Amino acid sequence: MAGAGSSARTGVPARHLPNQLNDSNPASHDEATRLRKLLALCSHLSALAAQDADLDAVARVLAGGIGTSVAILDRELDLLASAGIAEPDGVMGQLREHAGAAAVDRVLLAVSHHRRALTVPGLTGSERSVAVAPVSVGQEFAGYLLTRSSRNAELSEDMRLLGTEHAAMVCGILLARDLVIAAAGGRARQELVDGLLAAGGREDGEVERWAQHLGLDAGKEHYVLSVSLARPRGGGLDAIESLLARLARDAVVTSRTDEVVAIVPVSSGSVAHPEQARALGRACAAAVTEHHLGIAAIGLGRPTGTAAGISRSYTEARRALAVSERMGEFGGVTVFADLGIHRLLVRIPDIADLRSFAGEVLGELLDEDNAGGAEYLSTLSVYFQENSSPRRTAQRLHVHPNTVSYRIRRIEEITGLSFGLHRDRLMAEVAVEILAALRSRP
């Protein structure tokens, strides 16, 4: 490293500018001319900060003002903008070849740590030096601005370093502006999503406009997917949002207080909803498990062809989640369209009421099962599923049809019900569904 105040150094940059600008010496006049050029350059760069400029504009102005090549890198050394470089994507390789990998890495570390501009000299005296200035956004280090000296440059090394530092400051201002705009855009997008989910079936043009602003295709049906985590870990919902956005690239995905919500278009093809939705839900659950983010429960609403219907689909997705949680099965994928009578049962606030109803209808039959008698409840459940067919019930249970008929008669005797009566049969079916959902044999 050369010492401070030299034209090629890796220490703190010098700030030696001429003090006698009206000296009659021609060298002083040249110095004054270069200083005026530097001031004009800095003024031009400052003006960019007040305009709708980008990093490419800063690179072009800086390269033209000091006659050098310019590269702007993020903190991971990925290229953000450049000017005057034949192969910008290989700028770091060129720099390490120019100055040596170890020297470059030391300077980059020092620049990021101390937030001061430094110079990387070439490996030989004939090599041009590279100035490296930190780009900061507020208190956060955001990247580097690199300029390479020109053999025919009008500005001195000190002046080039000052210009590089000033340009890096302008880059930080522009990046901060972009972050503010992105944050505002994110808040606006979140408000649009929240408005759609809470629209409550509003049928007006405002809801349609919200959907258009979110980029939803009015020619497609959409459904809502909701992901909730049990025992979530730090950043779990944000990570799930990223995973889901990759799995459903056409979806609108956002994190909320306790869930991740996706508004997903129904794809045209041979696979129809809800199988499409079920496949996406399974893929999401698998990704959550693979990334060790916790236990995920996924609820899926039915598709809708209107923006106003998205609120209904979201409500269905949340009810599907509520079913899995209420019935002690948190985790996995629950499709609202598959719930059947559980859509109604989940709305009864007290599970004890459901259990009490099942007990009143089936009565002593539950005691028979608990005592280890014939599997009356499982027989009755399959019997109802097979539309009261003893033959099909027997096939599923691997017993003789006469055994099924006997068990059904015994169930009627024990409960006092007659399955030939619609009212008795309906109550028994609901009671069996309740017990199956609770996975309980009280």
Residue 123 is predicted with a pLDDT of 60
Contact call for residues 414 and 364 (beta carbons, < 8 A): yes
Strand residues in 94-153 grouped as ranges (E)? 118-120, 130-137, 140-148
Contact call for residues 407 and 376 (beta carbons, < 8 A): yes
Residue 69 is predicted with a pLDDT of 86
Residue 24 is predicted with a pLDDT of 52
Query: For tokens 């889901």, what's the residue?
Result: 244
Query: For tokens 């508004």, what's the residue?
Result: 263
Residue 32 is predicted with a pLDDT of 82
In this prediction, the residues of the chain whose per-residue pLDDT falls under 70 are 1-29, 123-127, 150-153, 201, 203, 231-235, 270-271, 326-330, 343, 346-347, 349, 368-374, 437-442
Condensed to tens digits (0 to 9), the pLDDT of residues 354-403 reads 788 888 888 778 776 555 445 888 888 888 888 889 899 899 999 999 99
Residue 226 is predicted with a pLDDT of 94
Question: How far is it, in rounded angstroms, from Cα 65 to Cα 45?
Answer: 10
Condensed to tens digits (0 to 9), the pLDDT of residues 114-124 reads 899 998 887 66
Rg (CA), the chain: 36
Residue 257 is predicted with a pLDDT of 82
Residue 279 is predicted with a pLDDT of 92
Nearest Cα to Cα of residue 173 among 64, 46, 83, 77: 46
CB-count exposure of residue 240 (10 Å: 0-12, 13-18, 19+): buried
Q: Which domains does the chain have, with CATH numbers?
A: 26-176 (3.30.450.40), 205-345 (3.30.70.270), 351-438 (1.10.10.2840)
Nearest Cα to Cα of residue 140 among 176, 168, 170, 100: 176
Task: Report the 10 Å Cβ neighbour count for 65.
Answer: 21
Residue 272 is predicted with a pLDDT of 74
Sign of CA dihedral 252, 255, 257, 262: positive
Residue 99 is predicted with a pLDDT of 75
Residue 103 is predicted with a pLDDT of 83
Residue 263 is predicted with a pLDDT of 95
Is the entire prediction scored with pTM above 0.75? no
Residue 25 is predicted with a pLDDT of 55
Residue 4 is predicted with a pLDDT of 38
Residue 169 is predicted with a pLDDT of 93
Contact call for residues 337 and 260 (beta carbons, < 8 A): no
Residue 18 is predicted with a pLDDT of 43
Q: Checking phi first, is residue 356 left (phi over 0); if not, alpha (psi -120 to 50) or beta?
A: alpha
Query: Residue 224: in which H helix or E strand, if any?
Result: strand 222-230
